[in-house]
Amino acid sequence: MLTHALWPLLSILSAVHPTPVAELRNERIHVELALNEQLTPYIAACRWVDDDAAAFHGAGDASSDSWACLDFGSLPEGVETRAERLPWGQRVTISRALVSDLVMSWVIELPRDSSTLRLHTRLHHGGDTPLAVPWFPIWGAQWQFPGANQLKWWKALSFEPVEQALGGELSVTLGSHLHSSDTRDSDGVNPYWCVAHAGGRVYFALEWCGGWEATLRGDGNVFGFSARLPESETQLVLQPGETIDGPVLCITPTRGATEAECRREWMLQRAQFAHEYYGGPAPDYFFTYNHWYTTRFDLTGRFLRRQARMASQYGFDFFLVDAGWYEGMGKWRADPKKFKPGELEDILADVAAEGIPTGIWTCPQFVSDGDSPAVDHPGFYEKFIDGHLLDLAGSDFPAFLTDHVERLRAHFGITWWKYDQVFFAPETRAGVMRNVLAFQDAVWAVRKANPDLYIENCQSGGRMINEFTVLITQNQWIRDGGRNGLEHARSNFKEALGAIEFMPPWSVNRWTNNPGQMKHADSELMRYYCRSAMAGTWGLVADLADIGHSRKKIIKEEIANYREFSEMKADYLYEVIYPHDGQDFAGVTFFDADGSQAAALVLRWDANGEFTARVPVPHLRTTWVPAPRSESDEDADVVLVEPEGDTPALSVAFDEDQDSRIVWYPPLEVP
């Protein structure tokens, strides 16, 4: 049995069933932990501190199936409870012995000034022989919410929201394979879901870069869930004396009358937690340059120098060198066939001298054939990049990755690092769970060693998005797509609108690709394409020399609009109008916290000819009286209309040739 000193920070109430065994409390919530008849801990109640109202309470403890990764055997004599003070919050660990000298611990953490519970389990093997663990539990519970009525989640890669009413003994199984948001038989989902109820929302987010599975159940006001790593995503054999921690499930109850108000509270808490727990640069809304869909692997020094000479004309916040610059996997030096000696270094230095920070792409988990004895067994070869995947769990990957980034920064002077490509293979020496842990430990090691480094999570175009990558990095390449024009613009906007329902807007990156190569593109389509990428953060992929004068003028005007529009994102209060077939328009409207301003990004969807978009503005103070506007004002035709029911709206007119609008209310002064 594990032994721990009992810390006095938290009130340890009792270790005798059925009374509570521990509690966590901060200025927001009060959580009681109890034991069931099998001496398995569960969250019995979560209450708001200010008025003692229930955020949720237990509706019977979790099914024993939630924890039965191994036979529990005979009941132990008791449990041990440890309470700890942490720099960023509190932790309670409740441990009990299972069979085969195995100890399971349930870990519950509560960050300060937060309503988020961070939950995970730990296994410690005290036996003398290796022990196979067929699957690994994350957490399971049955909770009652006041008036629980709806469940929501988001599909992988498309970011399409899916909503289902709670009731009628609903049972849904969600998950992903190998990477956290990859497809699984074409139905993978992002590791996030939300329960709506009469008093607000409860958000679930998984800090785990690998595959996972969760079964969600609803019947009336009762919502149950059981999350785990299934056998294919575990592949774990514990060695004698070994301790291993599983994925963290973050659960955030919020209160509010609308989804937007609850989401705002969730986003604010996550931004604060990311700052205190992971560190790194503060979130921002960058405008970035990248060449990938213009050159792919055919990048040359001549091309890149041409971009560097023109970059300052667009005011980029970062200049990123993507794939194709290196000699080969594991040979992270400029390809001598593409660059003269020292040429790439000089180009990056010249860009930095213009005041534009630089970044670079690598996939250090791959090496060339025969370059390393640490290539994973039975081996994983990726033809696309001509590389073999390293054995992450068997190569001290945290030290390897930290050294890799240090060398990049020292040699190229970068302040942005983008990682990409697959990290996990279906069959490995140590099993996929250990490789996921090795990767996460490595990224965290890089972050600790580089608190000023901007990190971009790409992983094959959005296949590894989860709460860990969202909070520890500054940017997410949410989906690949080399198209341009109207087709890509619609894809951009639809994916971004779905993503910002569960990801902070600063983490959602979309691109305008190769505007110089667009055929039959009038000025309105050019504006539409630029604006389609502005819901989160925006980047331009192009040969800058290939962009004609008229298109360049439009892009520069839209850069100014993007910067102005992004200032309204700071309070995380926004309403999303997600597009569906046949819908006239789609859009997102951001508000400041006090309701005095709103900014709406509205795109034509399937409307024909002239139409008027009625954009709800429920968070705008309607007692404000607008100042007189002249006919020269860009937004002179944008009016606040009388509420239909309780919701006021902006009436935004589109003429037959107009496909997008960015409007501010009250309107901005137009020179």
Query: Model confidence over 315-350: pLDDT tens digits?
Result: 999 999 999 999 999 999 999 999 999 999 999 999
Nearest 5°: the CA angle 80, 82, 84 is 175
416 closest CA partner among 349, 360, 472: 360
For 602, the 3-state DSSP assignment is strand
106 closest CA partner among 36, 58, 54: 36
Question: What is the β-pairing status of strands 318-321 and 287-290?
Answer: parallel
Quick one: pLDDT band at residue 79, thresholds 50, 70, 90?
confident
The CB-based long-range contact list for 338-344 (8 Å cut-off, 24+ gap) reads 338/299, 338/300, 338/301, 339/300, 339/301, 340/301, 343/301, 343/305, 344/301, 344/304, 344/412
pLDDT at 74 over 60: no
pLDDT at 377 over 50: no
pLDDT at 633 over 80: no
Q: Where are the domains of the chain?
A: 22-278, 287-569, 573-665
* CATH ID of 22-278, from 2.70.98.60, 3.40.50.2300, 1.10.3720.10, 2.60.40.650: 2.70.98.60
DSSP 548-576: -HHHHHHHHHHHHHHHHHHGGGTT-EEEE
Quick one: pLDDT band at residue 75, thresholds 50, 70, 90?
very low
Torsion, Cα 472 477 478 479, to 10 degrees, reads -150
pLDDT at 72 over 80: no
Q: Which pLDDT belongs to residue 623?
A: 57
pLDDT at 671 over 50: no
Task: Please tell me whether the overall predicted TM-score, pTM, comes out greater than 0.85 for this model.
Answer: yes
- Give the tokens for residue 17: 């069933």
Question: What is the β-pairing status of strands 89-97 and 80-86?
Answer: antiparallel
Q: Which pLDDT belongs to residue 93?
A: 97
* Residues in a beta bridge with 31: 24, 46
212 in Cβ contact with 206 (< 8 Å): yes
Q: Which pLDDT belongs to residue 5?
A: 28
108 closest CA partner among 25, 17, 196, 6: 25
DSSP 480-541: -----HHHHHHHHHHHHHHHTTTS-GGGEEEEEE-GGG-SS--HHHHHHHHHTT-SSEEEEE
Q: Which pLDDT belongs to residue 416?
A: 98
Would you tell me the crossing angle of helices 523-531 and 549-566 to the nearest 10 degrees? 30
- Give the tokens for residue 373: 């004895």
* Dist. CA 281–CA 639, nearest whole Å: 39
35-44, 355-364, 529-538, range with the lowest pLDDT: 35-44
* Dist. CA 142–CA 59, nearest whole Å: 5
Q: Which pLDDT belongs to residue 628?
A: 40
Q: Which pLDDT belongs to residue 520?
A: 80
Mean pLDDT of the chain: 90
How many Cα atoms occupy the beta-carbon half-sphere of 607 within 13 Å? 22
- Give the tokens for residue 248: 């963290």
* Dist. CA 322–CA 274, nearest whole Å: 26
* Residues in a beta bridge with 419: 362, 457
Q: What is the pLDDT of residues 144-174, one digit of tens each?
A: 988 888 999 999 999 999 999 987 788 999 9
Tell me the mean pLDDT in the region 263-285. 97
* Dist. CA 154–CA 163, nearest whole Å: 9
Would you tell me the crossing angle of helices 397-412 and 343-353 to the nearest 10 degrees? 70
600 in Cβ contact with 572 (< 8 Å): no
Q: Which pLDDT belongs to residue 117?
A: 98
Residue count (the chain): 671
Helix or strand run (H / E) with residue 110: strand 102-111
Quick one: pLDDT band at residue 186, thresholds 50, 70, 90?
low
pLDDT at 372 over 60: no
Does 287-569 carry CATH code 3.20.20.70?
Answer: yes
Give how far Cα 613 sits from Cα of 38, 54, 486, 487, 602, Å: 58, 40, 20, 22, 8
Amino acid in the structure at residue 453: L
